[in-house]
């Protein structure tokens, strides 16, 4: 009964469609991914892999995890994937959040990764997020500028560039994480920060626009 109650919180049709679209029959019948009623499955292409053995229903939740300041009933998440998404374990993608992965791009989400609500990940090349990471609300993460910038010789000046987030990183609300960003493990990115380069020190607080080192020897708890 507990399992049935858990499933009924989500869209049965969307959940079945998603699982049987991406996984083998014996994986899909375990329903490793639960899809909320308010998820728009805009593009269900490409490939999805789950690295850990699937033992429980709903190890991955899309569109039903967030905070009280947003209207969960009216906030719609979007799944637009034609590339590859790798789940390395348990994952919760909050209501109103958007996942967009272009063809030939790879998005890797570590074990126990959470997005609270209304955040967006746009992957056109490669974004890798480590284990036990937390993204707050209203965050934009993208590894592209979308539009090319060229010099007068026609040479591209703004190639897409990977984003790497190491283990146990907390990214504060309304931050923008741009292409070429690297965040060391056990770091904190303060609210409203804009990051577009490599941060150096682990166990550190970074803050600002542009983002800069503020304090070392810090830890954070969920």
DSSP code, position 157: S
Give 84's strand partners: 47, 106
Evaluate whether 19 touches 33 at the Cβ level (below 8 Å). yes
H helix intervals, the chain: 2-8, 12-22, 25-28
C-alpha–C-alpha distance, residues 85 and 104, integer Å: 10
Residue by residue, pLDDT tens for the chain (222 residues) are 555 555 667 999 999 999 999 999 999 999 999 999 999 999 999 999 999 877 778 999 999 877 778 887 788 999 999 999 999 999 999 999 999 999 999 999 999 999 999 999 999 999 999 999 999 999 999 999 999 999 999 999 999 999 999 999 999 999 999 999 999 999 999 999 999 999 999 999 999 999 999 999 999 998
Indicate the domain borders of the chain.
2-145+162-215
> CATH number of the domain at 2-145+162-215, out of 2.160.10.10, 1.10.132.20, 3.40.50.300, 1.10.240.10?
2.160.10.10
- Copy the structure tokens of residue 102: 């272009």
- Copy the structure tokens of residue 199: 């941060």
**How much is the pLDDT for 198?**
97
Evaluate whether 17 touches 41 at the Cβ level (below 8 Å). yes
C-alpha–C-alpha distance, residues 50 and 172, integer Å: 27
Strands 205-207, 188-189: pairing is parallel
| Cα 180 to Cα 104, 121, 185, distances in angstroms | 18, 14, 16
What lies within 8 Å, CB to CB, of 7 at 6+ separation is 15, 31, 34, 57, 58
> Residue 113: is it exposed, middle or buried by C-beta count within 10 angstroms (0-12/13-18/19+)?
buried
């Amino acid at each position: 009964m507990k399992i049935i109650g858990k499933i009924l919180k989500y869209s049965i049709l969307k959940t079945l469609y998603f699982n049987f679209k991406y996984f083998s029959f014996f994986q899909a019948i375990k329903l490793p991914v639960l899809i909320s009623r308010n998820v728009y499955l805009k593009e269900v292409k490409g490939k999805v892999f789950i690295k850990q053995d699937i033992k429980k229903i709903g190890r991955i939740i899309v569109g039903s995890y967030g905070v009280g300041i947003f209207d969960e009933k009216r906030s719609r998440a979007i799944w637009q994937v034609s590339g590859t998404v790798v789940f390395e374990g348990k994952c919760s993608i909050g209501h109103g959040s958007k996942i967009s992965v272009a063809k030939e791009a790879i998005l890797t989400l570590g074990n126990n990764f959470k997005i609270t609500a209304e955040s967006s990940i746009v992957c056109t090349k490669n974004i890798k997020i480590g284990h036990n990471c937390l993204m707050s609300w209203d965050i934009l993460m993208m590894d592209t500028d979308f539009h090319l910038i060229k010099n007068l010789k026609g040479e591209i000046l703004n190639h897409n560039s990977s984003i790497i987030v190491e283990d146990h990183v907390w990214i504060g609300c309304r931050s923008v994480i741009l292409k070429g960003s690297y965040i060391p493990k056990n770091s904190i990115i303060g609210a409203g920060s804009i990051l577009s380069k490599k941060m150096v020190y682990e166990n550190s607080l970074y803050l600002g626009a542009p983002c800069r080192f503020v304090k070392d020897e810090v830890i954070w708890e969920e």
